[in-house]
Amino acid sequence: MLGEGGWFPGAGPLWLSIQLAGATTLILVIVGTPLAWWLSRTRGFWRTPVEAVVAMPIVLPPTVMGFYMLILLGPAGPLGKFWLSLSGDTLSFSFAGLVIASCVYSLPFVVQPLQNAFQAVGEDSLETAATLGARPIDAFFSVVVPQSMRGYLTAAVMGFAHTLGEFGVVLMVGGNIPGRTRVISIAIYDHVESLDYAKAHLLSAILLVFAFLALLFLYFVNRPRNHV
């Protein structure tokens, strides 16, 4: 395999996956915070449609998502064309394109835990903060964010783990370019196709253990506590 160097076979795709998942999680936590906050507070008409759109990636086949993303990000697509004129590079089959696609794909896994956490903070805490002199933005960072720490942990772990395991969208949007778009799940698929089961075993085991640890951590963080 080309460009598969590193400490062990498959280290390249693994490292690329981690970079992709890290970048996606970071962007989603930042973008997802105002979105989740709005969803947790608004009683307006648009709340339900927006909630439905945010949840779409959970039920859509990744190939469908990937297909539309490919059209959107391709050199002829609206976003792809803009990016091309800006950077001289195509978005499809690039790392940047993968990050954008992953952000859409993993959006609900970050927004939903944040929304739940924000809803749990409740109006009481915000009123209390206001009577103590905190303007809304101050109250958000001094009360809502610290009280939503479990929600942020859950959102980050879910977003990261889900992006790490994505396959269909990556295949459609990114293809299989070593060092650029060849992430771990694609590498596993490749190894199985070429009957290289030893390498497939190794990479699969890494993802399996990681998924278990991530979920173990989440259940540990969110387990019910005894209140004094």
Partner 1 sequence: MSELANKLGRCELALDRGDFKLRAEFDLPAQGITGLFGPSGSGKTTVLRCLAGLEPNVQGRVQIANAVWQDSATRVFVPAYRREVGYVFHGARLFSHLDVAGNIEYGRRRARRESDVSYEHICELLGIDALIRRKTSQLSRGEQQRVAIARALLRSPQLLLMDEPLSGLDSDSRREILPFLDRLRAALQIPILYVSHNIDETTHLSDHLIVMRQGRVTETGALEHLLSDAEIFGADASGVVLDAVVDGYDAGNQLSSVRFGGGTLLVPGKLANDNEAVRLRVLARDVSISLHTPPRTSILNQVEATVERISDRGGPHVQIELRAGTSRLVASVSRLSRTDLALREGQAVIAQIKGVAVKAWGTFS
Which residues lie near partner 1 (CB under 8 A)? 124-125, 127-136, 138-139, 142-143, 146-147, 149, 227-228
Question: Rounded to the nearest whole angstrom, what is the least distance from the CB of residue 1 to partner 1 in the complex?
Answer: 49
The smaller minimum CB distance to partner 1, of residues 155 and 203, is found at 155
Hey, is 166 helix, strand or coil? coil
Q: How far is Cα 161 from Cα 211, in angstroms, rounded to an integer?
A: 7
Question: Rounded to the nearest whole angstrom, what is the least distance from the CB of residue 226 to partner 1 in the complex?
Answer: 10
The smaller minimum CB distance to partner 1, of residues 6 and 146, is found at 146
The smaller minimum CB distance to partner 1, of residues 126 and 202, is found at 126
Residues ≥6 apart with Cβ < 8 Å to 38:
none
For the stretch 81-85, contacts whose Cβ atoms lie closer than 8 Å and that sit 24 or more positions apart, written own/partner, are none
Question: Rounded to the nearest whole angstrom, what is the least distance from the CB of residue 151 to partner 1 in the complex?
Answer: 12
Let me know the angle formed at the C-alpha of 69 by 64 and 74, rounded to the nearest 5 degrees: 130
Question: Rounded to the nearest whole angstrom, what is the least distance from the CB of residue 123 to partner 1 in the complex?
Answer: 9
Nearest 5°: phi and psi at 140? Answer: -65, -50
Question: Rounded to the nearest whole angstrom, what is the least distance from the CB of residue 115 to partner 1 in the complex?
Answer: 19
The smaller minimum CB distance to partner 1, of residues 223 and 227, is found at 227
Q: How far is Cα 194 from Cα 224, in angstroms, rounded to an integer?
A: 46
The smaller minimum CB distance to partner 1, of residues 129 and 170, is found at 129
Q: How far is Cα 166 from Cα 58, in angstroms, rounded to an integer?
A: 12
